[in-house]
Every structure is written in C-alpha cells, then in structure tokens.
Structure 1
C-alpha cells in the first residue's frame, strides 16, 4: 500500500509540476498525516525537492514539492530502420546524454554491439551516486523486423536473423538493470503521455511519422494496447491516387518520401541525419505532405467511427516547421471528408518531437517503477 501511495503521489506531482501536501491530500483522499509521511520519505530518498513557501493565506504557508531531476535515471534505446539511438534521461525527461548510429538497415549483432558499447560509455561518465539511481533500460523497436526486407530494399537473408534474435534478453544478460520492450510507435505514444502537457486530453489518437508511420491509442489517461498491437495505424486502408486503396503505411511513411527523392535523382541523407533542417527537393516534399495529410485524415475518420476521440496528436521524425505544416494540412483535409454522424476531433502537434521513440523507451522503466494510473 505504501508503494502504491508513493507512486500515486509522484504521478500527481509529475502531472501538475509542483504540489503542496494539502493539494495532494485533497486529490487523493488520503489523510494529511499520511501524505506528510509519504512526501517526507520521498524527499529523503531524493525523489522530491522542496520549493519556496507560498504565503498570503490563512494558516501555515504551503510548501510546493516538485520532482528532483537527479532523483532517478533511465536509459532508452530506439532501434529504427535507419538509425539506432541510446539516450540517458533524468527524472523529468531531460536527455542528459545521447549516442547515435545511422545505417542502411539494422542487424541484431550490430545493434547489440552498439547498445553495449554505448551503455558502457555513458555509464563510465556518470558519478557513483548517479549510477546507483539508474532504474532500468527501455527498448523501443519495430516488431517483426524481418517482414520489412522488401520495403527496406534489403535482401531477405539480411533481415532473417531478427527472427531468432531476442534483444531484450541479450541486453538483460549484459547490464545489471531491469530491461523492458515496447513497439516503437506505441513507445512514442507513451512519451507523449508521460512527458507531454499536464493538462492534455485523457483520450486521444496518436500518429508518429517515422520511416514507417505508426501510432497508439490513449483511453482515460492510459495506453490501450489490447493484446499488444492495438493502435498499429499503419495497416489502415486509405484512398490512393488511382481510385483504389492502400495501407496508410504505404502513403504516409518517410520511406515514401525517401524513395520519391532518390527517384528524382536527389539525395535523401538529410532525412535521417537531423531534424533541425531537411535539405530535400521542395516538389517531392510538398507532394508527400499533401498525400500524407490526406491519408491521415481518412485514418482519423475511420478511427473516430469506432471511438469518438476528442483529440488527435501528430508527431514524427521531422523539423518543427514541417510538422506544423502537416498538422495544418490534416486539418484542411478533414474539412473535405464527410464527417456526418461523427464529432470532429481537435488536431494538435505532438509535444515531444523527434525524440518521442527514445524518450518513450526511457519512460518504460520510469512508468514501471514510479508512476501510477492516477
């Protein structure tokens, strides 16, 4: 019961940035004495920091408490189709250190070697106190990687080793910490839930535009994963240019843009090197944005026919200005779709940005140990 109450308190403080004991007691229904004991212990453990007293009210001044960024640390490993990244985050989601490697396609051995080397490098730079506060490693990666050899334009035998690979188990043997695994798009959705706006919607549909588009479903403040694959938005059928239908993944994914750029005789390297700026042909980019927006709009309508989402969030591996333009285009495309019988959802840009998959991976051990579905 004590552990549950501590997680509840930490979740509320995270959501509201800072809270006084009296506010937590009111929100939880716990007695003032119980809350006082819990917060004193959390402060002693280095998880909470005491703020300046707030005066001007009747009685004793209230003292807001906030999360201590140095209270706990988490590793997040993102395994993508074009790059692998390891981040170290603190208790409030700041990225403290980062290691990244790009490639033409991922292999189990190279991914494992990169992960071990990067973990060793980052941990060697941490103080003994900080290392003692590492709570775990989360992995965000596409499931069934071997199924995508054709789309990656890689010989099938190069991807088949993933069938027998167990990256989670291999890393668990290598590092002395708990290891967690989640689909990369679902993990990105988790980052939006944990590190996004505290006053955000409790129910929303989430799209993450990466090499392949994917997403997640959030209901009542929690990710709904069903039997493990709910919210896999890529297979949703959407109209194509020829009067037929295609899976959303073949319309709104970055690999479609990459292929259009290379077909035009230009280079697409900047797509994967940085999200500060893309040096890509404007014609191919605008064409892809329009088709992506149309595909996402139709996917939104299909999804809202099943669950009346109050909000849709769109994020991805892209510069902020391009993401803002995509959100605007999706809004415009929704205006052209028949929404009879449906409530039109609010469409917003995701708050986390390109780091969503890495931060989502790091949020796995954070959520497991310190958060509650408050």
Structure 2
C-alpha cells in the first residue's frame, strides 16, 4: 500500500456534508478522517471548491485548504478551471482524479470468476471472465494469479505506483459448494478456505487483499457509483443463491460476511412448511432457475415473485421496528424485469400493511446488472481506504501482504 490517507476504520466517520450530522473536525489527529470526508464529499457532488468543503463540513477555510492541497499533491484530486465570483478570488473546483488510485476486483462464482481493473472513479480499464472447476481453490488461485500478472504487465510505471489493493467478493453459490464439500451445512465454515486463498494471494501479489460476500461488494458499488449514493439510510437486499444484505446508515454498511453480524437474512419469516425460517435461506434465485435471458413469466415464477415479495415485506417491517431507514434497494442475480416486478410487489405490500412509515419508504432497483462484473469487489478496498464508510466491520477480512 502507498500509505496515502490511512487511518483505517478508526478514521471513518460519516460520508458527506449533505446531512447535518456529518461534521468535520479541526484537530490535527483527525486529519485522515477529514481527508476522507473531503474525498467523499467531492465524490458525491462531482466537484467542490475549498470554500464549499469548509462550508458544508464546518471545517475552517484554512483547514479545508490544507487538506485539499495535500490530496492534490498526492494525485487524488484534480483542479478545474477557476470560476470567477462577484467578489474575492476565483474559486477552483476540485474533482476526483481518475488516475489517483487503481484497484483490482475479483468476484468468485461457482464455475467462473470475473476480474476487473478499476480506476478511482469506477472506470473499468480492463475486465476478464475466468473459467474453472467447481470450487477447487488451487485451480482458482492459479488462474487468478495468471490473470492478475497479465493485467499488471500492461500497466505503466505510474499506474503500478497507483495500484492499491485487491477486493475479493465471494458469491453464495461457491460458498455453499465449498461448505458442502467440507461436509458442513453452514457457509461460515467455508470461509477458512477463502481466507487461506486471500492470504496466499497477498503474499503472491504483495498487495493487501479485502475479502467479503457478494452482497457487500454489490452494496459497496451501489454506494460508490450506483443510485444509492445520494441516500444515506436504506435497507440493501441482494438475492442470489441465498438472500443477503442489511442496513446502511449514514452511508455506512452495517453488515458483513460474518454470520454473527447483523443482517436481514437472519430475520425469521413464515416458511412453506408452516413454521418459520431465516429469510436468507428462504429466498433463492435457484428456486425457479432464474437466468439472465429469462423473459416471459410463468406460473412458477409468478408464485416465486409473490412469495418472495411477501417474505421481504415482512422482514422489512421487522427491521423497521429497530432501525430507521428511508428506503429499500433491491438487487440480485435476476433479469431486470423480475427485479422490477419484485420492487413493485414489495412497494404495494408495504403500503397494504397500513403503517405510514413503511408506505413512505422508497423502493428502488439496484444497479448491479449495469455495473461491470468485478467492480463491486474493487469497491470494497476503494471505500475502505479512501472514503468514509463502515466502522462496524473493519477492513473486510483484509489480509496484509
């Protein structure tokens, strides 16, 4: 790592100055936090001047100026053309420098992986799909090392210096397959295999490795570059082989890969057998064989949409009893029209419950299908290293080289 910004999870506070609770601090010891705050503000607004940063955060103009100059010197910010005002010196809008940092993202699925090289503003410089057998760690490692080495060989010297970390997102299907291969029911027991892979990859690449679930990666990309960037508090739901997700508050993820952590998948909902079961294991795209090319609805898929929307609506009602959030972002491995139908059904069911706070929630689709595969994984270290993000989980399974 370059050591730029730094501070780790202890430096993380709130993500931007749009909301009154997000305030900066002038103490020298919080400089790293204030640098993250400035970067986060500029990421959300697109560009800001030093004076605007000071006004939004409550920092002094001098402190804001020092922070911006430091970030510009590090190559993380770029200065735009001065804008003349009515009085005083022209203001200079600052924006994120796309070449300021590079990240690698690796999404591991059951039979293939997607790897992407991503710049500081989420631009995908290169991406590839890698195929392998079902969950064989040695084969996955060999294929991943080869792809990473090839990508790095095409970087310039300047790009090499800006390459920061690697994010690995583990899909629930490969997690379940590894757990079954170990003769256990719970996916938590399979994480040791992926942690070993991350540690070995860190030694091989001399980069820090961030490891987490697919849902965390997808939510990270949603916060950084999706529609949720302007929403500080929402419930994120990702449907794949299992249902995963949790609450995002003040722009910070409140869930992680550890099963003991809070997550919407742990909420109990009525099961088909008449009892109750965790939402996470009650909903799966595998139940109806959803595929990206699926189009026309059929009776089984319609029943699945109805049952899934009912279970999710009940879980949302339960979650709202303990936490405040303004809406729901629904995403997952399904065709866009299926996701749109789920959103519509959830919106109607929440309104039918009769609670004004639930009826007022926004319910919108996520953007994972419009994002390059691997981008979400790259966003895990990107958010952790440079932007204000969750301080609940710490670096997501980071393995220092």
The question of 1:211 aligning with 2:273 is answered: no
Q: Counterpart in 2 of 1:72?
A: 101
Q: Counterpart in 2 of 1:287?
A: 303
Q: Counterpart in 2 of 1:117?
A: 146
Matches within 5 A, 1:20-169: 20-102=49-131, 105-141=134-170, 156=183, 163-164=192-193, 166-169=196-199
Consecutive unaligned residues in structure 2, runs of 5 or more: 1-27, 391-401
Distance in 1, matches of 2:89 and 2:255, equals 45
The question of 1:233 aligning with 2:264 is answered: yes
Distance in 1, matches of 2:164 and 2:296, equals 40
Q: Which is further off, 235-244 or 39-48?
A: 235-244
Distance in 2, matches of 1:97 and 1:280, equals 34
Consecutive unaligned residues in structure 1, runs of 5 or more: 259-267
Distance in 2, matches of 1:51 and 1:341, equals 43
- Kindly state the Cα deviation for residue 309 of structure 1 after the two structures are TM-superposed: 2.3
Matches within 5 A, 1:137-286: 137-141=166-170, 156=183, 163-164=192-193, 166-197=196-227, 200-225=230-255, 228-229=258-259, 230-258=261-289, 271=291, 275=292, 277-278=293-294, 282-286=298-302
- Kindly state the Cα deviation for residue 23 of structure 1 after the two structures are TM-superposed: 0.3
The question of 1:367 aligning with 2:397 is answered: no
Q: Counterpart in 2 of 1:265?
A: none
Distance in 1, matches of 2:312 and 2:370, equals 18
- Check the 8 A contact 2:240/2:285 in 1, yes or no: yes
Distance in 2, matches of 1:367 and 1:236, equals 27
Distance in 2, matches of 1:84 and 1:280, equals 28
Distance in 1, matches of 2:202 and 2:51, equals 41
- Kindly state the Cα deviation for residue 82 of structure 1 after the two structures are TM-superposed: 4.8
Q: Counterpart in 1 of 2:398?
A: none
CA RMSD of aligned residues (A): 3.3
- Kindly state the Cα deviation for residue 243 of structure 1 after the two structures are TM-superposed: 3.8
- Check the 8 A contact 1:192/1:356 in 2, yes or no: no
**1:251-271 CA deviation, whole Å, 9 max, x = no partner?**
42111122xxxxxxxxx7xx2
> TM-score, with normalisation over the residues of structure 1?
0.82
